[in-house]
Chain A
Amino acid sequence: MEAQTPMQSAATPPMKSQDAGKNMQRQMMAQEYDALARAKQTKTPVAYLFISGNIQELFRSFGFLVVYPEINALQCGIKKAAGPLILKAEDKGYSSDVCGYVKNDIGLVMQNNKSPMGDLPRPDLLVCNFSGCNTYIKWFEALAELYDVPLVMLDVPYVRDGVIPKQDIAYIVSQLHDVIATCEKVTGRSFDKAELSRVLALSAKAEDKWCQVLETATRVPSPIDSFFEAVFFMAGINIFRGTQACVDYYDAVLAEIAERVERGVGPVERERFRVVMEGPPPWPHFRAFWELFKRWGVVCTAATYPKVGGLFDTGLRHDPSAPIESLANYAMNCYTNWSLDKRAELMEGYLKHFKADALVIHSVKSCRSFSVGQGDFRDAFVRGKNIPTLLVESDLADPRYFQEAQLRNRIDAFFEALEHRRLTTPAGGAL
Chain B
Amino acid sequence: MHFAGVDVGSTTTKAALLDQDRALVGKSLLPTGANVVRAAQQAFQLALDEAGLEEHDIAYVVGTGYGRYKVPFGHAQVTEISCHARGAMRVFPGTRTILDIGGQDTKAIRVSPSGEILDFSMNDKCAAGTGRFLDAAATVMGLTIEEIGPVSLTSSAPLRITNVCTVFVEQEIMSHMSRGRKAQDILRGVHSAIAGRSLALMRRVGIDPEVTFTGGVSRNPGMVAAIEERLGAKINVSPLSQHLGAIGAAMFAVERAQGSPAPRPLVGELHVVGGH
Contact = CB atoms under 8 A, between A and B. Distances in A.
Interface stretch (A82-90, A212-220, A312-320, A402-410): A402-410
B212 to A, nearest CB: 17
Interface stretch (A143-151, A177-185, A224-232, A323-331): A224-232
Given A415-B265, A419-B263, A229 B276 contact: yes
Given A265-B272, A413-B79, A406 B125 contact: yes
B78 A269 contact: no
A168 interface: no
Given A382-B119, A393-B124, A424-B116, A260 B273 contact: yes
Interface in A228-252: 228-229, 232
Contacts of B116: 417, 420-421, 424-425
A384 B40 CA distance: 42
Contact of A424 (B114, B204, B206, B271): B114
B273 A265 contact: yes
21 contacts: A3-B268, A5-B270, A19-B273, A266-B273, A295-B265, A295-B267, A297-B266, A375-B204, A378-B204, A391-B121, A401-B125, A409-B81, A409-B122, A413-B117, A415-B263, A415-B265, A416-B81, A416-B263, A416-B264, A423-B262, A424-B116
Given A409-B81, A413-B117, A296 B272 contact: no
Given A5-B270, A268-B269, A406 B124 contact: yes
A295 B269 CA distance: 7
Contacts of B79: 409, 412-413, 416
Interface of A: 2-8, 15, 18-19, 22, 225, 228-229, 232, 260, 265-270, 272, 286, 294-297, 375, 378-379, 382-383, 391, 393, 401, 403, 405-406, 409-410, 412-421, 423-425
Nearest to A425: B116
Contacts of B206: 383
B82 interface: yes
Contacts of B105: 406
B117 A269 contact: no
A2 B268 contact: yes
Contacts of A268: 266, 269, 271-272
Contact of B269 (A265, A269, A375): A269
A7 B82 contact: no
Nearest to B266: A297
A22 B274 CA distance: 8
B201 to A, nearest CB: 12
Interface in B179-213: 204, 206
Given A19-B273, A412-B265, A416-B81, 16 more contacts: A4-B270, A8-B272, A15-B273, A19-B275, A22-B274, A296-B266, A379-B204, A409-B79, A413-B117, A413-B120, A414-B120, A416-B78, A416-B79, A417-B120, A417-B263, A425-B116
Contacts of B264: 416, 419
Given A268-B269, A270-B269, A22 B125 contact: no
A294 B81 contact: no
Nearest to B67: A405
A27 B1 CA distance: 62
Contact of A417 (B66, B82, B262): B82
A416 B81 CA distance: 10
Given A401-B125, A416-B78, A416-B79, A2 B267 contact: yes
Interface residues of B, number: 35
Nearest to A379: B204
Interface in B238-276: 261-276
B266 A225 contact: no
Given A3-B268, A401-B125, A403-B125, A18 B120 contact: no
Most A CB within 10 A of own CB, among B125, B206, B263, B273: B273
B272 A294 contact: no
A423 B270 CA distance: 23
Contacts of B78: 416
A409 B81 CA distance: 8
A302 to B, nearest CB: 17
A266 B273 CA distance: 6
Nearest to A19: B275
Interface string B132-169: 00000000000000000000000000000000000000
A228 B263 CA distance: 24
B160 to A, nearest CB: 26
Nearest to A392: B124
Contacts of A270: 266, 269
Contacts of B204: 375, 378-379
B273 A18 contact: yes
B125 A294 contact: no
A378 B122 CA distance: 14
B274 A225 contact: yes
Contacts of B121: 391
Contacts of A15: 273
B273 A405 contact: no
Nearest to B112: A421
Contact of A22 (B265, B267, B276): B276
A416 B82 contact: yes
Contact of A294 (B118, B262, B263, B269): B269
Interface in B59-117: 66, 78-82, 105, 114, 116-117
A412 B266 CA distance: 11
Contacts of B268: 2-3, 5
A375 B203 CA distance: 12
A297 B66 contact: no
- Top 6 A-B pairs ranked by shortest CB distance? A419-B263, A413-B81, A417-B117, A5-B270, A413-B79, A423-B261
A4 B269 CA distance: 8
